[in-house]
Chain A
């Protein structure tokens, strides 16, 4: 089991979600986060004084899936969320030790979709 943690542009969430649905992804968690990588931030102004906003709104999607599904899902996320500009985001793959379905008590791979 792996957790796919994808940090993407906020406006790409719709397209990514649709692609994940098409691949029968069992479920997902969505976080609204602030952050930056190489994209250093933007300059705003108020009453003539400029200031830098260096934490930019992003969206983090977390999905826990079987090892076999990881590649196709990651490809789908990259395809639908990429613009080619700095700030497209990152994907992290994290190993998951165990998973339990609360309703039935099932454990292991069977509890993940």
Chain B
């Protein structure tokens, strides 16, 4: 009896193991994925038997899906750069101000975003036309322009306020998210240049202006179909002012706002002696600054490659590698320049500035240059940022605690100029409506370089002027600086209501240098 029962159970087991493989062919588990995803997944009138037209539709939908996913995910990476900026700035400033510095970098994210949502996006992209990589929807079709010498000069857009009506569209929303995080990058740059002596209420008001007006207008001129982009079509200046991911639109704008703001604010107490020589005010946390720099470098993998707005544009591989190489040569050049030429010490904060300068500079040309050019652009930016920092601090006597003006302003300008030199003609056919690929001076097109110069000048003039007006206005209404007692004691408790570091003894003796 027992033998018969065992035999029966054994036979049952064998039968089950023979049947199981057959089961997997009929909707069972798929451990290697070979059978998952078939014609049955194609949207079709008859499930499992799509017509050629239905297959074509699915392919087109998937292409747009890839592009939209790319845009959104790289946008998420750029959002994380807000944390990077916060850490760099707080690490390079003093412990008595950490809550205040952090709070500026924190609050600029929602302030800038909401301003951009209310009207900034509309001003910048309201007239951009079809969103080609994500389905071609062309609802953003109202550009306010003037006509001079028979040419149209686009000034700003007029569609997309609050993302309502015609802009309640998936492609528009994806574009908005991506462009918003770029705007917030600009918005947070001046908080570094103006740190440690900027009243929080004054900063708060600035936060509304940057996302609504300052950033979007120049942005429209370059990316929204405005007059700088049209320099090619209108005046045969290359492909117009070309800026792939924003050396001028994002970084130079931020740097110029910071320049004007830091100049109007004046230096921190104790920064300069009576004879004009500067005193160093050491940052309180070098590890924080360096981790912040790595976070920024990581986010830049979203910033530059994402600017194709298309995962199907395989130039993204070139863009990503160029970005990476420039960051490395920028860091190297700045470090060696400090170590061998300037101070005989490889200063960590300048290392950070060097990497960031390389990233800022490559942001415009990254899609248009080869890898050797990318390395050279980064190398030059590493030296440039060190010299610019010394010049701004020592000659212009403008106190920039973190080097934001040298990194973003100066190297933002160098970035677009380098595009005008190094663009090698392997990409960019039809850019800004001009036939042919984008070439720089070294590859035969000097007019491209001129277009970049025009863009740099326009940025300096427009951003400089409007920042001047905005900051002067805020100064009159609220006052830009806290009282000297508040500044020397630390902004945290008087301005934010609590110390950023609780229970840590602050070194009040060495934190404010003696002005001789």
Which residues does A use to contact B, with CB under 8 Å?
Answer: 34, 44-51, 53, 55
Q: Is the CB of B513 within 8 A of A48?
A: no
- Say yes or no: B283 contacts A46, CB within 8 Å: yes
Name the interface residues of B310-362: CB closer than 8 Å to any CB of A: 338, 342-343, 345, 347, 349-350
Kindly list the 3 A-B residue pairs having the minimum CB-CB distance in the complex, ordered from nearest: A49-B280, A46-B280, A46-B282
Q: Judge whether B200 is part of the interface by a CB distance below 8 angstroms.
A: no
CB-CB under 8 A from A50, the residues of chain B are 280, 343
Given B281, B338, B510, which contacts A48 in the complex, CB threshold below 8 Å?
B338
Q: Is the CB of A45 within 8 A of B345?
A: yes
Complex CA–CA separation, A46 to B284 (angstroms): 11
Is the contact region of chain A dominated by helix, strand, or loop, or is it mixed? strand
B403 within 8 A of A: yes
**Beyond A46-B282, A48-B390, A49-B279: 17 further Cβ-contacts under 8 Å?**
A44-B282, A45-B345, A45-B347, A46-B280, A46-B283, A47-B350, A47-B403, A48-B338, A48-B343, A48-B347, A48-B350, A48-B389, A50-B280, A51-B280, A51-B282, A51-B513, A53-B510
Task: Name the residue on A nearest B403 (C-beta).
Answer: A47
How far does the alpha carbon of A74 sit from the alpha carbon of B437 in the complex, in Å? 83
Within the complex, the shortest CB–CB distance from B454 to chain A, in Å, comes to 33
Chain B contacts for A47, CB-based, 8 A: 280, 347, 349-350, 389, 393, 403
Q: Closest CB-CB distance, A80 to chain B, in whole Å?
A: 28
B residues 223-267 with Cβ under 8 Å of A? none
Query: Which of chain A's residues have a CB closer than 8 A to the CB of B279?
Result: 49, 51
A-B contact pairs, 22 of them (CB 8 A): A44-B282, A45-B343, A45-B345, A45-B347, A46-B282, A46-B283, A46-B347, A47-B280, A47-B347, A47-B349, A47-B389, A48-B338, A48-B343, A48-B350, A48-B389, A49-B280, A49-B393, A50-B343, A51-B282, A53-B510, A55-B509, A55-B510
Residues of chain A within 8 A (CB-CB) of B403 are 47
Q: For residue A44, which residues in chain B have a CB less than 8 angstroms away from its CB?
A: 282
Tally of contact residues, B, Cβ under 8 A: 21
B281 A46 Cβ-Cβ under 8 A: yes
List of B residues within 8 angstroms of A53 by Cβ: 510
Residue in A closest to B343 when the chains form the complex, CB atoms: A48
A31 CB, nearest partner CB in chain B, Å:
13
Minimum CB–CB distance for A36 against chain B, Å: 13
Residue of B nearest to A47 (CB): B349
Which of the listed residues B279, B282, B509 has the most CB atoms from chain A within 10 Å of its own CB?
B282
- Alpha-carbon gap, A43 to B393, bound state (A): 20
Contact status B349-A46, CB under 8 Å: yes
B278 within 8 A of A: yes
CA distance A45 to B513 in the complex (A): 13
Least CB distance from B90 to A in Å reads: 15
Q: Which A residues lie within 8 Å of B386 (CB)?
A: 48
- Smallest CB gap from B278: residue in A: A49
Whole-angstrom CA separation of A34 from B513 in the bound complex: 17
Least CB separation from A48: chain B residue: B343
Closest Cβ–Cβ distance, residue A42 to chain B (whole Å) = 13
Taking CB atoms and an 8 Å cut-off, the chain B residues in 17-64 that contact chain A are: none
Contact with A along B267-303 (1 / 0, CB 8 A): 0000000000011111100000000000000000000
Bound Cα distance A48, B510 (Å): 18
Nearest A residue to B513 by beta-carbon distance?
A: A51
Nearest CB on B from A46, distance (A):
4
Q: Roughly how many angstroms separate A97 CA and B283 CA in the complex, as a whole number?
A: 47
- CB contacts (< 8 Å) of A49 on chain B: these are 278-280, 393
Interfacial residues of chain B within 373-389, with CB under 8 A of chain A in the complex: 386, 389
Most chain A beta-carbon neighbours within 10 Å: one of B280, B349, B509: B280
Q: How far is the CA of A49 from the CA of B389 in the complex (A)?
A: 11
- For residue B284, give the distance in angstroms from its CB to the closest CB of chain A: 11
Q: How far is the CB of A25 from chain B (nearest CB, A)?
A: 28
When chains A and B are docked, how far (Å) is the Cα of A44 from the Cα of B342?
Answer: 15
> By the criterion CB–CB under 8 Å, are A45 and B509 in contact?
no
Q: Which residues 384-400 in B have Cβ within 8 Å of A in the complex?
A: 386, 389-390, 393
Shortest A10–chain B CB gap in Å is 16
Min CB distance, B456 to chain A, in Å?
A: 26
How far apart sit A45 and B510, CA to CA, in the bound complex (Å)?
14
Nearest Cβ in chain A — how far from B348, in angstroms? 9
Question: Which of B280, B283, B390, B393 meets A45, CB within 8 Å?
Answer: B280
CB within 8 Å for A48 and B342 given contacts A53-B510, A55-B509? yes
- How many angstroms from the CA of A49 to the CA of B282 in the assembled complex? 10
- Complex Cα distance A72/B263, Å? 63
**Alpha-carbon distance between A71 and B317 when the two chains are bound, in angstroms:** 76
A50 to B513, CA, bound (A): 12
By beta carbon, the residue of chain A nearest B394 is A49
Tell me, in angstroms, the Cα distance from A51 to B270 when the chains sit together: 13
Q: With both chains docked as a complex, state the minimum distance between the C-beta of B482 and any C-beta of chain A, in angstroms.
A: 23
Distance (Å) between the CB of A112 and the closest chain B CB? 31
- Name the residue in B386, B389, B510 with the highest tally of chain A Cβ atoms < 10 Å from its Cβ: B510
Query: Quick one: which of A47, A49, A51 has the most chain B CB within 10 A?
Result: A47
Min distance, Cβ B125 to any Cβ of chain A, angstroms = 38
What is the CB-to-nearest-CB distance from B81 to chain A, in angstroms, rounded to a whole number? Answer: 22
Contact indicator per residue, chain B 75-114, by CB within 8 Å of chain A (1) or not (0): 0000000000000000000000000000000000000000
